Amino acid sequence: MTAPRLQLTGITKRYPAVVANNGISLTVQPGETHAVLGENGAGKSTLMKIIYGSVKPDAGSVLWNGEPVAVRNPQEARALGISMVFQHFSLFDTLTVAQNVWLGLDRKLTLAEVTARVSAKAADYGLDIDPARPVHTLSVGEMQRVEIIRALLTSPQLLILDEPTSVLTPQAVGKLFAVLKKLAAEGCSILYISHKLHEIRELCNACTVLRAGVVTGVCNPQQETNASLSRLMIGAEPPALEHHKVTAGETVLRVQRLQLRKDDPFGVDLQDVSLEVRAGEVVGIAGVSGNGQRELLYALSGEDTRSGPSMLQVFGKDVGRFGPAHRRHLGVHFVPEERLGRGAVPTLGLAHNLMLTRTDSVGKSGWIDVKALRQQARGVISRFHVKAGGPDAAARSLSGGNLQKFIVGREIDAKPKLLVISQPTWGVDVGAAAQIRGEILALRDAGCAVLVVSEELDELFEISDRLHVIAKGRLSPSVQRRDATVAQIGAWMSGLFDLTPADQEAGRAQA
């Protein structure tokens, strides 16, 4: 009989505030696509890092192709044939795409050869990327493509994917799945972490479920339903969203013919962007990553103040030249897509991270009421079920999904009048995603204006009242959610929103 590709026995990893993995055993066969399922903080990412050699276990054993191994670092893992795509990217911002890929490959290859291989893989798998672009100019979705291409270039025997589709479009996900199925058919084993249950059921033929650092179940996901997988993962089905009919009120945000030149060579010019968001409605913006979302969000948040004063208005007041603090005084709050570094300072505790956008605990004399600040952080942690070692836990110590819950919770707890939120449920489990979406709808019902930028079409159709699409720096007309279709939005994502329905259909057929 063929030995398992990977066999873990009794893997345990303890941290000061939590036992991340507690006696975990897991077996992956050659050519098997094996899901690791669990809610945020269940220990999935820690277990994958142990397999990849970036974290050392406190106890347990690892067999690789039937032989005992001690993987001490990622270099040894790659030498064995193990590659990993992390949820939080491990890229150097100042280097190009090709240079980042080159770092993890055989030094016998020249940079020119690596550049050619990146271009070839990108073309083969539909993960379009320019190998000469510096990483700091890429969107989050484009960075994800770089990580996937880098892993595939190593021709792995075991490919570990941690939330690989969190910022990919449905079309790109379909292409990625075709690649993964082909790899599995050729004998490559795949460990797949995702909170998207329909993906797991479509792609995977085995599943190990973790809860609070221990294995609570093993199943074949193709024989399960989304509801049964949810029960295995979180002990219950996520609550259904409640949609209440609300009549939209006054216009809170008005963007009028916004023209904005890109501020780096690989950015996107915003061209004649116009939209309105009214009190008591959720407006969604869909689009393929890298089509101007970043530039629009920077303009809306006040990080980019180059637009004309009257091009952006909040409650009728010109704010185009106002910075983020001034806009927050008007009730505008913002959740960026980059959690670490923009949404939170990695080394600061959660309580002090509140002060990035909240000044409730600062007295008139300028002194910080630390007790009140910690209490405020505890409130957010409790309300949004954030798994953390208390209000002083460093932001970087949280799992990606729990940090996302904290950042979203921080802004919602501020009771905004206008909330601009990018990728609200990126990397969070089904229960947390349902809670965040429910909180967004509750804000809307309370009269807040909400603008959501997301690459999750299902999410936008679930929570939006009206939809736009951004493509090549241009914004489509709005369409009521009840009148929109996935086919129409997909066509608009290719920039076809100026065409007649017949022309759109012809463009889809040609694509």
pLDDT tens sequence across 327-351: 999 999 999 988 888 899 999 999 9
Q: Which whole number is the average pLDDT over 408-430?
A: 91
pLDDT of residue 511: 40
Query: Encoding tokens for residue 257?
Result: 């013919």
Query: Encoding tokens for residue 64?
Result: 């690789």
Instruction: Look at the pTM and tell me if it is higher than 0.85.
Output: no
Report the C-alpha gap between 490 and 449 in whole angstroms: 25
Measured between alpha carbons, how far is residue 369 from residues 23, 248, 361, 383 in Å? 42, 38, 5, 21
pLDDT of residue 207: 96
For 471, phi then psi, to 5°, come to -145, 125
Is residue 503 over pLDDT 50?
Answer: no
DSSP 8-class letter at 160: E
Query: Encoding tokens for residue 386?
Result: 């954030």
Q: Which whole number is the average pLDDT over 481-503?
A: 77
Tokens 């505030």 locate to 17
Q: In the structure, what pLDDT confidence band is assigned to residue 499 with cuts at 50, 70 and 90? A: low
Report the C-alpha gap between 261 and 279 in whole angstroms: 30
Q: In the structure, what pLDDT confidence band is assigned to residue 52 with cuts at 50, 70 and 90? A: very high
Q: Please, where are the H alpha helices in 384-473?
A: 400-413, 430-445, 457-463
Report the C-alpha gap between 318 and 309 in whole angstroms: 5
Least confident of 90-94, 252-256, 311-315: 90-94
Is residue 33 over pLDDT 60?
Answer: yes
Q: Which whole number is the average pLDDT over 407-426?
A: 94
Q: Which helix (H) or strand (E) holds 252?
A: strand 251-260
For 389, phi then psi, to 5°, come to -80, 40
Instruction: Rounding to the nearest 10 degrees, give the CA dihedral for residues 396, 21, 143, 121.
Output: 160
Least confident of 290-304, 413-427, 469-483, 494-508: 494-508
Task: Specify whether the CB–CB gap between 335 and 422 falls below 8 A.
Answer: yes
Q: What is the pLDDT of residues 68-77, one digit of tens each?
A: 999 999 989 9
10 Å Cβ neighbour count for 101? 27
Domain 248-331+417-511 has CATH 3.90.1150.10: no
Question: 6-234 maps to which CATH number?
Answer: 3.40.50.300
Q: E strands along 47-185, which residues?
A: 59-64, 67-69, 82-85, 158-162
Q: Which whole number is the average pLDDT over 435-439?
A: 91
pLDDT of residue 238: 74
Report the C-alpha gap between 132 and 384 in whole angstroms: 41
Q: What is the pLDDT of residues 264-282, one digit of tens each?
A: 777 899 999 999 999 999 9
Task: Specify whether the CB–CB gap between 29 and 189 falls below 8 A.
Answer: yes
pLDDT of residue 169: 63
* Residue ranges of domains in the chain: 6-234, 248-331+417-511, 338-415
Least confident of 43-52, 121-130, 249-258: 121-130
* Average pLDDT over the chain, rounded to an integer: 89
Is residue 289 over pLDDT 90?
Answer: no
Task: Specify whether the CB–CB gap between 258 and 312 falls below 8 A.
Answer: yes
Percent of the chain at pLDDT > 90 equals: 59
pLDDT of residue 168: 67
Rounded to whole angstroms, the maximal C-alpha distance in the chain is 74
Least confident of 87-101, 249-263, 463-477: 87-101
> Does this chain's domain 6-234 share its CATH topology with 248-331+417-511?
yes
pLDDT of residue 505: 52
Report the C-alpha gap between 488 and 478 in whole angstroms: 12
The candidate with the shortest Cα–Cα distance to 206, out of 4, 1, 71, is: 4
Report the 3 state secondary structure along 189-210.
EEEEECCCHHHHHHHCCEEEEE
Three-state DSSP state, 381:
helix
Q: In the structure, what pLDDT confidence band is assigned to residue 165 with cuts at 50, 70 and 90? A: confident
pLDDT of residue 509: 45
